[in-house]
């Protein structure tokens, strides 16, 4: 069974630590004990940072005893997706290419967490270079879903989501390029936010697709997710994509009324490829909101049908460009044969250093960017992206939020879709539109169908994460999911 202290909402834990009802060391030790118990079955982590976390926890306890000010995350163990740099800790991106790469600096989000007295408890597993939907494409082996360890946790941030769902971390960070926060949040029945593009600094995030990706928080409840978002958002001069638009303190938004919230339900998110169980669960949430006095209206975003192919052309093209730097000559994996010439070394380093899925995406992206096909594929995809953004802009003139499924399918079994990459790509059909448009989107637990979680996706206009959190809390309160039904309760 899960320790009672670990089941306490993290915003209450911070208060308990501040008032010396529990020490940061006790809470961290309980989390580490939980990790040791669960990890053999789940494999959420690539590396656990045990002793430094306990040392930091003791320092926080001393600060509290001396009546010194502590941060908003004081004493909370936070898991970090292993494509975000933590100084003097390996940042592998779950790839053989970076298996032994030690980050020389902290990402901006890590600096901000540490400044709020958060503890970096470990680096979590992911699909290699964040390219995947199931966290099965990891050089270090797959992560399993704590609700049912025969199933995938979603991806690519599956390790972070599994760590939070399995009570192996209080909070976590992931990155979302086409759904990589919301997918595992849905499959693991937790809260996962993809912020507005530019709201959270990308400095220190190992790039996959620069124009699409954002770092985002995971938590077991909406208020805790808002707490972490409060601590990591804001302008950063070191990130050229960072916005200097002032964001609010999201933990203060929950007292605002949700009455009169205009809800749009885009038909395109409920069509081909969406399982009946998902449709039934998401519509059940919409009708519960209707019973609470909110009104919804079906709408159409006609360009959404082109979102998936446009996304994969853009993402793979940017990946091809970003991953060109990994040649094994300056750092990273290098074949041991010193007799080879430069061309052979370069080729073998990349073939043996990258997994099959990464190589596939590099080749497709290189093809799309090639001289003869640039206009036909990449340029056309960018034009479609503009039209999708206009669809969303028009919708948000009529609605405050848009509701849809987070994932079109229930969590599937390990290995079930590995031999069919297109089937895996299709799983992103409901999440990629928000990345193309740059809008914020959150996945909230919407229900459980035959023991498997279903997430509800809420989308809002740019920089209106406050509406997402308020709507998310309303969904959270109306569903009242029993989080003890998962297998992780008994491991």
Helix axes 307-322, 356-369, angle to 10 degrees: 100
Distances (CA, A) of 257 to 260, 309, 450, 474: 8, 39, 34, 10
Q: How far apart are CA 205 and CA 214, in angstroms?
A: 9
Q: Are 148 and 54 in contact (CB under 8 A)?
A: no
Residue closest to 412 by CA, chosen among 163, 200, 135:
135
Give the three-state DSSP class for 263: strand
156 as an active site residue: the answer is: yes
Backbone φ and ψ for 376, nearest 5 degrees, come out as -70, -30
Distances (CA, A) of 249 to 226, 324, 401, 429: 8, 39, 20, 31
Q: In terms of DSSP bridges, do strands 171-176 and 441-449 run parallel, antiparallel, or are they unpaired?
A: unpaired
Catalytic residue among 180, 189, 201, 242: 180
What's the farthest any 2 CA atoms get from each other in the chain? 73
Residue closest to 220 by CA, chosen among 254, 196, 185:
185
Residue closest to 161 by CA, chosen among 146, 141, 177, 179:
146
Catalytic residue among 56, 81, 194, 483: 81
Name 458's bridge partners.
Answer: 403, 442
Distances (CA, A) of 313 to 228, 317, 439: 32, 6, 20
Residue closest to 84 by CA, chosen among 196, 159, 192:
159
Q: How far apart are CA 203 and CA 213, in angstroms?
A: 12
Catalytic residue among 95, 156, 160, 186: 156
Q: In terms of DSSP bridges, do strands 214-219 and 171-176 run parallel, antiparallel, or are they unpaired?
A: antiparallel
Which pair of structure tokens corresponds to residue 104? Answer: 């020389």
Q: Are 163 and 39 in contact (CB under 8 A)?
A: no
Give the three-state DSSP class for 264: strand
Cα Rg of the chain (Å, integer): 21
Q: How many residues does the chain have?
A: 491
> Which strands form 401-405's sheet, in the order they lie side by side?
45-48, 119-124, 77-81, 171-176, 214-219, 191-194, 441-449, 452-459, 401-405, 262-266, 295-299
Alpha helices in 259-341 (DSSP H): 276-291, 307-322
Which pair of structure tokens corresponds to residue 266? Answer: 């885009």
Q: Report, as residue numbers or ranges, the catalytic residues.
A: 81, 156, 180
């Amino acid at each position: 069974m899960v320790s009672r202290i670990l089941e306490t909402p993290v915003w209450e834990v911070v208060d308990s630590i501040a008032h010396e009802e529990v020490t940061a060391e006790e809470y961290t030790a309980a989390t580490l004990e939980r990790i040791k118990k669960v990890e053999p079955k789940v494999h959420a982590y690539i590396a656990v940072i045990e002793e430094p976390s306990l040392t930091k926890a003791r320092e926080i306890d001393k600060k509290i005893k001396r009546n010194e000010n502590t941060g908003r995350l004081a004493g909370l163990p936070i898991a970090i997706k292993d494509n975000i740099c933590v100084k003097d800790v390996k940042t592998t991106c779950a790839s053989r290419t970076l298996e032994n790469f030690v980050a020389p600096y902290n990402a901006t989000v890590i600096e901000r967490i540490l400044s709020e007295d958060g503890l970096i408890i470990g680096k979590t597993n992911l699909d290699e270079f964040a390219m995947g939907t199931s966290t099965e494409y990891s050089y270090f082996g797959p992560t399993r879903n704590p609700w049912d360890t025969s199933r995938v946790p979603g991806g690519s941030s599956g390790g972070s989501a599994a760590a939070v769902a399995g009570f192996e971390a209080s909070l976590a960070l992931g990155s979302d390029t086409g759904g990589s926060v919301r997918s595992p949040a849905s499959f693991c029945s937790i809260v996962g936010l993809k912020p507005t593009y530019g709201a959270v600094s990308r400095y220190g995030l190992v790039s996959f697709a620069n124009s699409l990706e954002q770092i985002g928080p995971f938590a077991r409840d909406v208020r805790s997710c808002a707490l972490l978002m409060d601590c990591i958002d804001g302008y950063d001069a070191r990130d050229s994509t960072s916005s200097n638009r002032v964001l609010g303190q999201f933990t203060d938004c929950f007292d605002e009324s949700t009455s009169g919230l205009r809800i749009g339900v885009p038909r395109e998110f409920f069509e081909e490829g969406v399982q009946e169980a998902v449709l039934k669960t998401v519509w059940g949430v919409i009708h519960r909101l209707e019973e609470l006095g909110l009104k919804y209206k079906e709408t159409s975003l006609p360009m959404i049908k082109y979102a998936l192919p446009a996304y994969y052309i853009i993402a793979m093209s940017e990946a091809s460009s970003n991953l060109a730097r990994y040649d094994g000559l300056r750092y990273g994996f290098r074949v041991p044969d010193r007799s080879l010439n430069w061309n052979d070394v370069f080729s073998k380093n990349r073939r043996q250093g990258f997994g099959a899925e990464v190589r596939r995406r590099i080749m497709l992206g290189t093809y799309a960017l090639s001289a003869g096909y640039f206009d036909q594929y990449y340029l056309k995809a960018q034009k479609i992206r503009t039209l999708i953004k206009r669809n969303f802009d028009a919708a948000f003139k009529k609605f405050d939020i848009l509701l849809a499924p987070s994932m079109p399918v229930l969590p599937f079994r390990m290995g079930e879709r590995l031999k069919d990459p297109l089937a895996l790509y299709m799983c992103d059909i409901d999440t990629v539109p928000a990345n193309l448009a740059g809008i914020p989107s959150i996945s909230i637990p919407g229900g459980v169908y035959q023991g498997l979680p279903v997430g509800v996706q809420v989308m809002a206009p740019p920089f209106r994460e406050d509406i997402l959190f308020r709507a998310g809390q309303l969904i959270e309160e109306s569903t009242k999911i029993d989080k003890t039904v998962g297998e992780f309760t008994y491991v």
